[in-house]
Amino acid sequence: MERENSTAVTAFILLGLTQSQDVQLLVFTLVLIFYLIILPGNFLIILTIRSDPGLTAPLYFFLGNLAFLDASYSFIVAPRMLVDFLSEKKVISYRGCITQLFFLHFLGAGEMFLLVVMAFDRYIAICRPLHYSTVMNPRACYALLLALWLGGFTHSIVQVALIIHLPFCGPNRLDNFFCDVPQVIKLACTDTFVVELLMVSNSGLLTLLCFLGLLASYAVILCHVKGHSSEGKSKALSTCTTHIIIVFLMFGPAIFIYTRPFRAFPADKVVSLFHTVIFPLMNPVIYTLRNQEVKASMKKLLSHYMVC
């Protein structure tokens, strides 16, 4: 084989989610149905927020960006996985693998930082309402959006930089249905102990710290709303509950995958399936179903196009 990027491996063979044809067919059907139903819902959320002048508050601005990030994230793994279900040989080039890994962590970290920004937005709105319009002005919102994109890029480029310097000289069977750090590192022809520690620090520790910080911030918010009126308390509790559900859906699988040494567990592939395909598409939908303003605007938009 030709050497490429100091490696003899020019492609990886993906072993897939399962070797059972019946299970593959079942998962293919369920994921395809889910994908075709939920993905348009994410784009509908973006269209609704963009087209309704009443949904200009920072909360909706960030919700629209969450829907965009999650829709983009779902394109990294799901389409190829669906095609591979129908293919006998599942092969991805070395460059394709690195590209998939880069965008997976770029958008994943971007979403993680976006959830932190959304928690900050709720904290200011509920705990410092008099300062809200000053702190969360349009310029500040765009600055926070730029910061989270840069944060995601920095996180991902560090991952890629560490991996492309590893030598891959023989084994190329990747025990997963997509390229991710834990499985790729295992194929390196060198001692990867230090690299694994750096990866766990970059992905695992960062994920865990963000998760704990988010839980602490929502705990502060929930303690603060105890003294509010019943109406304000109910709305704040509904918003925070939604955010907490998304935090657990987003961070739970990530913590399971990235905060431990890179050893294989039987549940790894199932957790990865939910983390990369199912949960990202569900996040904006969960937000929308619990937000009366967005639901009302969405119904208005749909009725308008149906009448036309």
C-alpha distances (whole Å) from 286 to each of 63, 69, 122 are: 11, 15, 17
What pLDDT is attached to residue 245?
86
Bridge partners (DSSP) of residue 93 are 11
Are residues 126 and 225 in contact, defined by beta-carbon separation less than 8 angstroms?
A: yes
Q: DSSP per residue over 266-300, as a string? A: TTHHHHHHIIIIIHHHHHHHHHHHT-HHHHHHHHH
Task: State residue 84 phi and psi, 5-degree precision.
Answer: -65, -30
pLDDT in tens, 21-51: 888 889 899 888 888 877 888 888 889 888 8
Most confidently modeled range among 16-30, 91-105, 161-175: 91-105
3-state secondary structure of 13: strand
Gap between the Cα atoms of 298 and 193, Å rounded: 51
- Cα(85)–Cα(22) distance, rounded to whole angstroms? 11
Q: If pLDDT is split at 50, 70 and 90, which confidence band does 262 have? A: low
Paired sense of beta strands 11-14 and 173-174, if any: parallel
* Tens of pLDDT, residues 169-225: 878 899 889 999 888 998 999 888 888 888 888 888 889 999 999 999 988 888 888
